[in-house]
Amino acid sequence: MLKIENLSVHYGGIHALQGVSLEVPEGKIVTLIGANGAGKSTTLKAIIGLIKTSGGSVSWNGKSLAGMPTKDIVESGIVLVPEGRRVFANLSVDENLSLGAYARKDKSAVEADRARVFKLFPRLDDRKKQKAGTLSGGEQQMLAVGRAIMTRPKLLMMDEPSLGLAPLVVKMIFDIIKEINAEGTTILLVEQNAKAALMAAHFGYVLETGRITLEGEGRQLLADDRVRKAYLGEAL
């Protein structure tokens, strides 16, 4: 379980996170929604150690992640699929997947996972040897998810997986997220697409300018008037 208590982050001269607390119970899908600039990406980057925190604590299964280098955090099972895919454009699809498994030592299991990724995303199999930079946006997102699967994460964090993707592709990605979760992976999902996120998630938190303003079960938040007005675009 991931536990964040009173997390404070100063980033680029702004007090980006002002005392954020949230929990990601094991095996669940938790989503963090909010408007642009609310601090969602900052939260994920702070967890994975790409950004320094200025207060509060982040712990994974009781162990504090404070000050740990990203490499060690990832090796302990926490993986981030960053915003904008960030696949390695100069490397082939296959190599991108191999990089996902960079820290793993169990060769045969890695190959099994690779086969599984290609089964989930047949289009990636077709483009195995192509450079990742030549893929379309949707394919790159598939590659990013596939690469994340190759890490066999315990906690999978995703930063705006739906961004810039066609609705059908978004649906496919979310279906796969649910499938991965069903197999036991805990998921922390950051999304601007509040509707899709809240429909998929067990729990949700709403982040507004660095603070958590609402929390509850996914279904509850979907029905909440404040959420509907601010993020779901539904008239009262």
Partner 1 sequence: MDLATFLQQLANAASLGSLYSLIAIGYTMVYGILRLINFAHGDIFMLGAYFAFYLIASVALPWWVAFLVAIAITSLFGIALERIAYRPLRDSPRISLMISAIGASFLIENLGVVIFGGRPKSFASIPLFDTVVRMGSVQVLSVSLFIPVITILLLVVLLFVVNRTKTGMAMRAVSTDVEAARLMAIDVNKVISYTFGIGSALAAIGGILWTMKYPQLNPLMGIMPGLKCFIAAVIGGIGNISGAVLGGFLLGFIEIMVAAFLPALTGYRDAFSFILLILVLLLKPSGLLGKKQTVKV
Q: Which lies closer to partner 1 via its Cβ, residue 66 or residue 103? A: 103
User: What is the spatial distance between Cα 50 and Cα 203, in angstroms, rounded to a whole number?
Assistant: 25
What pairing do the DSSP bridges indicate for beta strands 29-33 and 203-208?
parallel
> One-letter amino acid identity for 223?
A
Q: Which lies closer to partner 1 via its Cβ, residue 35 or residue 91? A: 91
Q: Of these, 8, 15, 19, 82, which contacts partner 1 (CB under 8 A)?
A: 82
User: What is the spatial distance between Cα 190 and Cα 2, in angstroms, rounded to a whole number?
Assistant: 15
CB of 181 to partner 1, least distance (A): 20
User: What is the spatial distance between Cα 184 and Cα 189, in angstroms, rounded to a whole number?
Assistant: 15
Q: Of these, 8, 19, 23, 91, which contacts partner 1 (CB under 8 A)?
A: 91
CB of 235 to partner 1, least distance (A): 35
CB of 128 to partner 1, least distance (A): 15
Collapsed DSSP state (helix, strand, coil) of residue 54: coil
Here's the x/- map for partner 1, 29-68, by CB under 8 A: it reads as -------------------x-x------------------
**Span of 21-29, 70-78, 110-118, 195-203 interacting with partner 1 by CB under 8 A:** 70-78
Beta-carbon count within 10 A of 88 CB: 15
- Nearest 10 degrees: CA dihedral of 187, 205, 11, 153? -10
Site size for partner 1 (CB under 8 A): 23
Here's the x/- map for partner 1, 125-164, by CB under 8 A: it reads as ----------------------x---x-------------
125 token code pair: 């199999």
Collapsed DSSP state (helix, strand, coil) of residue 25: coil
Residue found under tokens 């979907």:
222
Sign of CA dihedral 62, 64, 65, 68: negative
Q: Which lies closer to partner 1 via its Cβ, residue 6 or residue 70? A: 70
**Span of 78-86, 107-115, 162-170, 227-235 interacting with partner 1 by CB under 8 A:** 78-86
**Span of 85-93, 111-119, 180-188, 196-204 interacting with partner 1 by CB under 8 A:** 85-93
Find residue 205's DSSP bridge partners. Answer: 32, 215
Mention every residue, 6+ apart, whose C-beta is less than 8 A from residue 69. 49
**Span of 98-106, 113-121, 200-208, 213-221 interacting with partner 1 by CB under 8 A:** 98-106
> One-letter amino acid identity for 75?
E
Q: What residues line the site for partner 1 (CB under 8 A)?
A: 48, 50, 70-71, 74-75, 79-80, 82, 86-91, 95, 98-100, 102-103, 147, 151
